[in-house]
Amino acid sequence: MAASKPFNCGIGPAFEVIGGKWKAVILYELQDKPVRTGELRRLVGGITEKMLIQQLREMESDGLVRRVVYPEVPPRVEYSATPEGAALNKALGPIAEWGRKYAAARGHVEI
């Protein structure tokens, strides 16, 4: 995240870090335990491997995700939320609840 960009409120930097279709979903799936790349791809339905890796790299650069490579053959890579990522995930909880209520009110399929 670029530190020099001015924002009017805290929503700007938060949305810059989690903006897009996938990051909040990825972060949600990392909330409970470390997850391997293949499992994470299955959990986040519809994402390509290339997009998943790109999003994970950006989130790692932003300090939201920790990547651990185990020296095995084949190499095992696990991702987990950092304390900053866990705090953001907790902050996203009320937004997710609002989204569920909004979708229900609009007659969308139950989430």
pLDDT of residue 2: 47
- pLDDT class for 53, splitting at 50, 70, 90? very high
Q: In terms of pLDDT, which residue wins out, 107 or 34?
A: 34
* Rounded Cα distance, 66 and 87, in Å: 14
Instruction: Give the pLDDT score at 51.
Output: 96
Write the DSSP symbol of residue 110: P
How many helices and strands (H and E) does the chain possess? 5, 3
Q: What is the pTM of this model?
A: 0.84
Q: Which domains does the chain show, CATH number per domain?
A: 11-105 (1.10.10.10)
Angle (CA) 80 83 87, round 5°: 105
Among 27, 6, 8, residue whose Cα is nearest residue 17: 27
